[in-house]
Structure 1
Amino acid sequence: MKTIRNSKQYDLIDLSKYIGSVFVVFIHTLPDGIGEQLGNVIGRFAVPFFLIVSAYFYTNKLSKNDEGDRNRLIIQYVARIFRLYLFWMILNSPFILYNSVNYFRSSTFGIWKTSLLFVLSCVYNAVPGYGISWYLTTSMFSAAILGRLYFKHSSLSLLFYTLPFFLISVFSSTYGSLIRKMGPIAQLRALFSPANSLFAGLFFFSLGMVLFDHRHFWMVHVSKPVLISITVLALICSIVEANVAIHYNLPYAAGTTDQYFMLFPLSFFLVVLCLKFQVKLLFAKICRKASTVTYLSQFIFIFSIKFFCMKLNLNINQYFLALLTVAGTFILFLILNSFEKKFPRFLKYAF
């Protein structure tokens, strides 16, 4: 994912971002059994992790500039993500177009209301048929909104302001069973999923800002063994919480464990862990760029593989689908990376 970095290289961050992008593939390909644990339970850490990391390095840059330069930095940051967004929108356009047509065909509203809902969904949530784009849209809005508020409010205040949005995202996904019984609200939840939108993104972005402002405490006063223990405990508690919710049928619908309470400490401590352990990895840059391609191109492979299997009347194993998708996205990364120097003006927006 796109981040603004300082002169220090945090190679574990890059490795973790690639691992996270693979777990996002698991979310979309492994719905049952152990696969559900890898995807819809553990894999949910990925996007919060990306947002916290992005906000951490973004705040680092903000803190080094005066107010005039900060405004310029915000515009540059948002523009950079928007170009990344457009690049992958173009590459995913056949699938986006197909799902957008189905969106209008299946709508029970009139053309104008459906068009308005479509635009609102694209801005606030994600483009129909390209749900993973919510990470990019929420990054742009979070950077613009919180970047300006950061001039006048402490990061802890911003975290407090955004907490209600996170709670809404939790109670509309992992604990959304109550909403299912509330007619008008359930309809709104179906149209606009808070758990995959700015609602969740603002909170995690502000969490990254808090981490930067209070990094001294975590880097100096908390030992590595203690931090590892806390992170492992957060992981165990995350698995337990998500599985209890699934067991008692608490999620809004099957597979909607998008946000749950232990997700934010797990993601937060994983980032702290990666920042604290300074290791040099020769393949860190590859991981950083491959994570972007894996995350943003996965639907190309998932939809294509499923389409060909359907046409050939083949049943594909979920783990084989995940393996093919991960392999396909990495091959695409190698192709794009090899042509980057030849077409720098175009392919620089791919990573």
Structure 2
Amino acid sequence: MPKVLNGNLDALKVVLAICVVALHCKVFGGNDTAIGYMLGNGLFRVAVPVFFIINGYYLFHTLSEGHSFSKWFQRGLCMYLFWMLIYSPFYVDPATLGSLKGVLGVVKSLLIGYFHLWYLVGMLGGGLILYALRHAPTQRLITLALIAYLIGLTLQYMRVYYVLPNPFLQHFNQNDYAARNFLFMGFPFMCLGFVFAKHKITQTVTRPVVWIWLVSGTALMLAESYTNYSLRANPQLYFDFMFSLPILTPALFMLACVYFRAATSNVPAKVSSAVYYIHPLFIVGALAAGMAYGNLLALLVIGLALVAAPLLIALSKRVRFVL
């Protein structure tokens, strides 16, 4: 008998993947306009954290049903290495591979993930932490996750608004990976999904509560992003962490769960993964062809990614870790 899936949760994943594409294409003027800023440094930022919540939710079920964590990890690792190989021309310079600096550069890229592939590093690292703490009391899990997220949030806001007196620390904190990593983002949001599954929160929360939660979280995020825009936060720096993220993202996840729609096909989930992993190739190609960032680029890249999705899905039936 086919496994029953949540069709609305998979549909949400497709929407979130499209949000990532729109963010990377700098729709509505990107950080240079109020609406572009509130999307790119606001609402679109929910995508990857919600992915992490979903990862944590399913990881709990994977472990509770007796499946192997090592197989879960190995599949994720193979997927990561496959896509890092696909994108290797963008971070591997053959001319420098013979030098120590060149080799260290490649190792660094493999450790933190090229561009959007940091998400897979975040999932794998967050999963390892959750597996190590899987028997810990819920209160301890939530406390550790909150502390980790608050550290990342502090580093994020310091990065934008405060210059550290130590030049090395200031330089380090200007890098995305200083805060946006498996410890400060992957683990906290995966922990949320893990706890929701452990205590069956999705089966007890009511729809009115979720809607109030969702509207409140959206209002807070819009207010926070508009405040940052009004304060003329450095437009070259993005907000991966926000005070409102841990409020809005669980509500989005819950919304798909309280409006459960039974499905047996995993195609929408595969489409989401395909769009997420392949879209930077189309962005680079379009930019090289002379297109500019903006709405037209986003529409083109989304269209091309959706066209490529069936091909990747077909390939994944032969090579499972592609998607």
Q: Alpha carbons of 1:262 and 1:174: their partners in 2 closer, same or farther (altered >3 Å)?
A: same
Distance 2:147 2:104 in 1: 26
Please give the alpha-carbon distance, in whole angstroms, between the structure 2 residues aligned to 1:194 and 1:214: 32
CA deviations on 1:146-188 (whole Å, 9 max, x unpaired) are: 112213x123312211323212221232453344343332111
Q: Residue 249 of structure 1: SS of its match in structure 2?
A: coil
Label 1:39 to 1:257 Cα distance change in 2 as closer, same or farther (>3 A).
same
Q: Indicate the residue corresponding to 1:86 in structure 2.
A: 81
Matched, 1:23 2:7: no
Tell whether 2:90 aligns with 1:95.
yes
Residue 349 of structure 1 pairs with residue 316 of structure 2: no
In the alignment, which of 118, 122, 143 is matched to residue 110 of structure 2? 122
Does 1:138 pair with 2:114?
no
Aligned to 1:321: 297
Q: How many Å apart are 1:319 and its aligned residue?
A: 0.6
Partner of 1:3: none
Task: Give aligned pairs, total.
Answer: 314
Rounded Cα–Cα distance in structure 2 between residues aligned with 1:54 and 1:236: 26
Structure 2 Cα separation of the partners of residues 10 and 240 of structure 1: 32
> For residues 86-110 of structure 1, what are the alpha-carbon distances to aligned partners after superposition, in whole Å with 9 as ceiling and x for unaligned?
2222222322336x97xx79xxxxx
In the TM superposition, 1:212-223 aligns within 5 A as 212-216=197-201, 218-220=202-204, 222-223=205-206
> What CA distance in whole angstroms lies between the structure 1 residues aligned with 2:4 and 2:313?
23
Task: Output one character per residue of 1:304-342: Cα deviation in whole Å (capped at 9) or x when no partner.
Answer: 111121xxxxx535111111111111111122234555x
Equivalent residues in 2 for 1:174-253, closer than 5 Å: 174=157, 176-182=159-165, 183-191=167-175, 193-198=177-182, 199-216=184-201, 218-220=202-204, 222-250=205-233
Q: Map residues 61-76 of structure 1 onto 2, 5 A cutoff.
A: 61-65=62-66, 73-76=68-71
* 1:333 alignment partner in structure 2: 309
The match for 1:60 is 61
TM-score (norm 1): 0.81
Shift of 1:243: 1.7
How many angstroms apart in 1 are the aligned matches of 2:85 and 2:164? 39
Task: Please say if residues 126 and 186 of structure 2, whose CA atoms lie closer than 8 Å, have aligned partners that are also in contact.
Answer: yes
Displacement, 1:197? 1.0
- Cα distance, 1:56 vs structure 2: 0.6
Report the alpha carbon displacement of residue 36 of structure 1 after superposing the two structures with TM.
3.2
Which blocks of at least 5 consecutive residues in structure 2 are unaligned?
Answer: none
CA change 1:171–1:113 in 2 (3 A) is: farther
Cα distance change of structure 1 residues 57 and 234 upon mapping to structure 2, 3 Å threshold: same
C-alpha distance 170-118 of structure 1, shift in aligned 2 (>3 A)? farther
After superposition, the C-alpha distances for 1:279-327 in whole angstroms (9 at most, x for unaligned) are 2468x63321111111111110111111121xxxxx5351111111111
Greater RCO, 1 or 2 (C-alpha within 8 Å, sep 6+): 2
Displacement after TM superposition at 1:13 (Å): 0.9
Maintained 8 Å contact 1:176/1:250: no
Distance in 2 between the 1:215 and 1:160 partners?
Answer: 19
Question: What SS class does the counterpart of residue 155 from structure 2 fall into?
Answer: coil
Which letter does structure 1 place at the counterpart of 2:288? F
Give 1:26's aligned amino acid: A
CA shift for structure 1 position 112: 4.5
Residue of structure 2 aligned with 1:10, choices 1, 6, 21: 6
Q: Give the Cα separation in 1 of the matches to 2:105 and 2:162.
A: 20
| 1:340/1:78 CA distance change after superposition, 3 Å | closer
Residue deviations 1:20-79, cap 9 Å, x none?
A: 0111111211124333333331110010000000111111222233xxx6xxx2211110
> Aligned pair in 2 of structure 1 residues 316, 245: CA closer, same or farther (>3 Å)?
closer
Corresponding letter in the other structure for 2:87: N
SS of residue matched to 1:97: coil
Bigger drift between 11-20 and 175-184 goes to 175-184
Seen in structure 2, the aligned counterparts of structure 1 residues 236 and 337 have a Cα distance that, compared at 3 Å, is same
Going from structure 1 to structure 2, the CA distance change for 1:255 and 1:29 (only over 3 Å counts) comes to farther
Q: 1:195 to 1:49 in 2, by over 3 A?
A: same
Partners in 2 of 1:39 and 1:191 — Cα distance?
18
Query: Displacement of 1:228 after TM fit?
Result: 1.1
45-54 or 34-43: which moved more?
34-43
* Cα distance change, pair 97–308 in 1 and its aligned pair in 2 (3 A): farther
The one-letter code matched in structure 2 to 1:201 is G
State the SS of the aligned residue for 1:196: coil
Query: Cα offset for 1:120?
Result: 4.2
SS for the counterpart of 2:289 is helix
Cα distance in 1 for partners of 2:307, 2:195 equals 37
Q: Distance in 1 between matches of 2:298 and 2:263?
A: 26
Identity, % of aligned positions? 24
8 Å contact from structure 1 (residues 301, 325) kept in 2: yes
